[in-house]
Amino acid sequence: MPTFKYSARDAVGRSIQGTDVASSIGVLSASLRRRGLLVITIEKEAEPSDHRAISIHPMAWLPPSKMDVELGLQQLAAMLHSGLTLLAALRTVSEQASRPRATAMWLEIRDRIEQGDTLSGAMSTYPKVFSDYVIQLVRVGEHSGELDQLLTRATEHLEQARNTRMMVLNALAYPFIVMVMAIGVSAFMVLNVIPKVQHFLAGQGRALPRMTQMLLDVSDWCRFYLPYVGLGLVVAIVALITLHQWPPGRLAIHAFLLRIPIAGPVLRLSGTASFSRGLGILIESGITLLDGLRTAERLVGNNALSQRVAKARVAVMRGEPLADALAGKYEFLPMMVRMVAIGEVTGTLGRALFDSAKFHEVRLLAVIRRLSVMVEPVMIGVVGGIVGFVYIAFFVALFSLAVGVR
């Protein structure tokens, strides 16, 4: 249906302007009059250019990003809350999308709704873009008439998950960059510069200093065995990827990750916070516990935690308490399990899960910051020791060369 831009006045004479979708100008005019508005003008908006045409722009081949989805849902929630119709809001979102494929996606969703589909049904045709979690909340919002509020909850969850990912990546980025640069400089010195110094000193019949000779022995070993080491690493990576593609192997890897020091507690803490917030929002939105557990299985990125949630759903179907089914030695943290038990008894499970999520999110932030503070000096010390040893060995060789020349 076409979109019209209208100008009208209300009962007290205030000017009102907006856009709406209708089959004709007459239908829209009658609708505005029923709302008590005096229609001034109604004009049909020009049809937007077809963003779905083939484009040679590099961005045209990129799929919609998670940020595109999050921003689009935020815009939808804001416009629906202000009273804009869903079709008009979807059109605005498509016009403001940063990538052509995101624009085409929102336009396709709008077309499906015009043909009689629901928003959740149209979103479900893009399973790689919209998660089951978002689609569940949208479906509940459509049935309850509170779509804008449910979209806001969905964006809050997506934003929290994004902030957590960025927090972890930022904490690991600096040590990783320092390590890569240190390895590069050391490899250049060991494999390129120092062998030339060795060749020059050997031509003069002089022996290298002991420290430099130790470094060259390492260099010779690396040059001889590096192809074999590289081949072994490639084989190990391929085997690990193959094992990860196999469901039992992926489950074993994820269960092992939860048990290793340092990384295991962080993964458990992150999974507990994500599960608590996700299931809490679903239950508070009116979704049944069983449906919420089925959706929450996909919220945690660890398969061992997902399997625990799946077993908990089966246990709840048998009439067992949810808290007992979630308990495990190396999976969700005990505090969340105890808060779930209290919520089940008092009938405030959603609120208990929210409180658990807030506590564990604060704990996760503190743990990541503490690990970042601890890892950086350790990395600097290790890298500084490696680079320092290489440079000292290099300058000792230069000093030996200078003394020989003199």
Q: What pLDDT score was predicted for residue 328?
A: 75
The partner residues of 21 in beta bridges, in order of sequence, read 3
Q: Domains in the chain, start-ordered, CATH in brackets? A: 1-47 (3.10.20), 54-130 (1.20.81.30), 148-406 (1.20.81.30)
Q: What is the mean pLDDT of residues 128-146?
A: 81
- Give the max Cα distance, the chain: 105
* Whether 400 contacts 208, CB under 8 Å: yes
Q: What pLDDT score was predicted for residue 39?
A: 73
Read off the pLDDT of residues 9-24 as tens digits, 9 standing for 90 and up: 777 777 777 777 777 7
In the block, which residue shows the tokens 């119709």?
Answer: 85
What's the rounded Cα separation, in Å, for the pair 121 and 124?
5
Other beta carbons within 10 angstroms of residue 121's beta carbon come to 16
Q: 60 versus 333: which is more confidently predicted? A: 333
Q: Return the axis-axis angle of helices 86-96 and 100-114, rounded to nearest 10°.
A: 170
Read off the pLDDT of residues 84-120 as tens digits, 9 standing for 90 and up: 788 888 888 888 877 788 888 888 888 888 888 888 8
Read off the pLDDT of residues 385-402 as tens digits, 9 standing for 90 and up: 777 777 787 777 777 766
Q: Has residue 48 got a pLDDT over 60? A: no
- Of the candidates 199, 220, 349, the one whose C-alpha atom is nearest the C-alpha of residue 276 is 349
